[in-house]
Amino acid sequence: MTARQGRGSGEGRPTWIQPLMEWSSIQKVKARLKGSLDRVPVAAGDITLSNAGRQLLAWWLEARGDRAMPDAGDVSPRALVELLPYIRYLSWEDEDRLVFRIFGSALAEATGADITGYDMFAFSHDEVEIDRARLKRLHEQPCGIVLVRDVFLKEGGHFPCEFMTLPIAPGPDGKKRIIGTIVPAVHVEEWTTDLIFDRILTLRRAVYFDTGAGAPDPSLGLEV
């Protein structure tokens, strides 16, 4: 995925958002669940889930009940209020366009841009088609996916981030949706550096996980 270039360093960050960017907060954030985390997986394949990713999965499993997935009416800001800064929520506007409806405040701060309303595939690159195919599978065979991508920094260097993504069934508008979190996949005391998305984010891992309907066949070549 690519997007507009970020705005620079993290200096001058608003006081209210500062705690959201600290590792201690990212590690403690919780979904408001009715039940416990006891039966929620701690890993997807060989990827140990982040706290935020596991909390989102716990909410998703609880919200769907005995269905294949929750629907748009189940997406509750009240239940997800602590997670919202790290959440991206998108809708398939047609077969090709996947548009951001929510891009959390921590994500906007980290990237230096609020990309709400943008098509995530609008900035063409060589991996757009496989990225699109990966995400379409979430509804075709209901399942989740965890990606670990290297995120580049303006001052040079990179670090991995976890992209947890799950399917949401259509609401009254008939549009399928996906919901997910993005958080650092390694310990960073403070998410102080702005990320830039003006290049392909190097993909380290892409792993589907079973939510009751199996997972896509590895022969499709969508996992890494």
CATH no. for residue 213?
3.30.450.20
Position 198 scores a pLDDT of: 58
| Count of domains forming the chain | 1
pTM of the model: 0.91
Position 55 scores a pLDDT of: 98
For 52, residues 6+ apart whose C-beta sits below 8 A from its C-beta are 26, 29, 83, 86, 162, 164, 181, 183
Q: What is the pLDDT of residues 62-119, one digit of tens each?
A: 999 999 999 999 999 999 999 999 999 999 999 999 999 999 999 998 888 899 999 9
Mean pLDDT, the chain, whole residue set: 90
Would you say residue 2 lies in a domain?
Answer: no
Would you say residue 165 lies in a domain?
Answer: yes
Would you say residue 7 lies in a domain?
Answer: no
Would you say residue 10 lies in a domain?
Answer: no
Q: What is the pLDDT of residues 32-71, one digit of tens each?
A: 999 999 999 999 999 999 999 999 999 999 999 999 999 9
As a whole number of Å, the end-to-end CA separation of the chain is 16
Q: Mean pLDDT, to the nearest integer, of 199-209?
A: 89
Domain enclosing residue 196, as ranges: 18-220
Would you say residue 4 lies in a domain?
Answer: no
